[in-house]
Amino acid sequence: MSQTSPSRPTPPNAVWQSLRANRGMWLPILVVVGLIVVFGIASPPFLSWRNFSAITGEAATLLIASLGASFVILMGSIDLSVGAIVLLVGSVCVSLLANHDYGLMILPLAALLGAICGGVNGTICVAGRVPSFVVTLGTLSIFTGMALSILSGRAIMFDSDVLDTLSTGQLIRHLPNIALCALVLWFICVAIGIWTKFGRFALVIGGGEIVARTAGLPVGRYKIASFTFSGLMAGIAAVFAMSRLGAVGPTLGQDLLLNTIAAIVVGGTSLAGGIGGVHRTFIGVAIIALLNNGLNLLGVGPYWQMVIKGAVVVGAVLVGQDRLLSRIVK
């Protein structure tokens, strides 16, 4: 009669290696919990429903802008022009809304204009064989200059009942409509990342562009598509941002340059590409939004907030250093 041998416990070293290998998944969630606990103790109003509405409303624009840029970074590239596209699209839209209330019809126009800007970025990168960092750094200046020319360096206000409802209304109690829309877009982007060729090939290209080309994947086409999608989401984010402010000024989207990259990297997507995904971006956005809100409640000045957020980005990159050592950020 055979006797079943008892199962051996997993060695502590193997558990540690498993946790270390999957730190990109559990560490951001642990950071979110830690921030909630710390800010909740340091500032009791932080845990109120009113503050929850404020956090989700502020995070909506950042989430939408980060969704498209996530696919770009997942492919091993980078888009520094997200904030500039938001400013340019916002300046065009506010010029139209200043004379007539187009309501939600402004959304398709904003998305189209953003997609065109993103398509320009991707086409120059692929056709000109220029690193995305250099291209988007240049178009950041171009788009910003065009926007400031339209605005003439001043803020332009507008009045739209539909956009006011989008930003301040609550179809679900304590959850602003703008945050609800952002969640819907996040679910759509997660579905794209999981169930479409675009999402699967983004991982493959980011994991090894040369291997992907050898396998016959149209790398250039998918890179252009990723930048176009990033611009499209930035265009939508522009409408969300201006709807909350009721105006568009020269500083619109200025904080998105750091915050989008910070949210994506802190969420667990590697700057080298091939690791992470848009589903992790949600956690990264939550971390940045909690940091912004908690530091504001504690009275931390804006300059020190920049220092802290920059340190968070550096720390997130150091956490994923093993992966980055063998790769070149394009």
pLDDT band at 235 (very low <50, low <70, confident <90, very high): very high
pLDDT band at 214 (very low <50, low <70, confident <90, very high): confident
Tell me the average pLDDT across 228-235: 96
Greater confidence (9 vs 234) lies with 234
Tell me the average pLDDT across 209-216: 84
Q: What is the CATH number of the domain that holds 187?
A: 1.10.3470
Range of the domain at 132: 46-316
Res 17 pLDDT > 60: no
In a domain, 215, yes or no: yes
In a domain, 138, yes or no: yes
Res 4 pLDDT > 90: no
- Give me the number of domains the chain comprises: 1
In a domain, 63, yes or no: yes
Most confident residue range from 26-30, 253-257, 285-289: 285-289
In a domain, 131, yes or no: yes
Query: Nearest CA to 224 among 130, 121, 132?
Result: 121
Greater confidence (163 vs 78) lies with 78
In a domain, 37, yes or no: no
- pLDDT per residue over 261-276, tens digit each? 889 988 888 888 878 8
pLDDT band at 148 (very low <50, low <70, confident <90, very high): very high
Tell me the average pLDDT across 24-49: 84
pLDDT band at 138 (very low <50, low <70, confident <90, very high): very high
In a domain, 83, yes or no: yes
Residue 56's contacts (CB-CB under 8 Å, 6 or more residues apart) are 175, 176, 179, 289
Mean pLDDT of the chain: 85
- In this prediction, residue 184 carries a pLDDT of 95
Query: Nearest CA to 83 among 259, 263, 290?
Result: 259
Res 103 pLDDT > 80: no
CA distance 303 to 289: 16
Query: Nearest CA to 130 among 220, 199, 52?
Result: 220
Res 189 pLDDT > 60: yes
In a domain, 16, yes or no: no
Res 312 pLDDT > 80: no
Query: Nearest CA to 86 among 270, 243, 213?
Result: 243
- In this prediction, residue 20 carries a pLDDT of 53
Greater confidence (315 vs 118) lies with 118
Poorest-pLDDT segment among 31-40, 201-210, 305-314 = 305-314
In a domain, 231, yes or no: yes
User: Can you give the pTM of this predicted structure?
Assistant: 0.87
- In this prediction, residue 213 carries a pLDDT of 86
Whether the CB-CB separation of 101 and 161 falls below 8 Å is answered with: yes
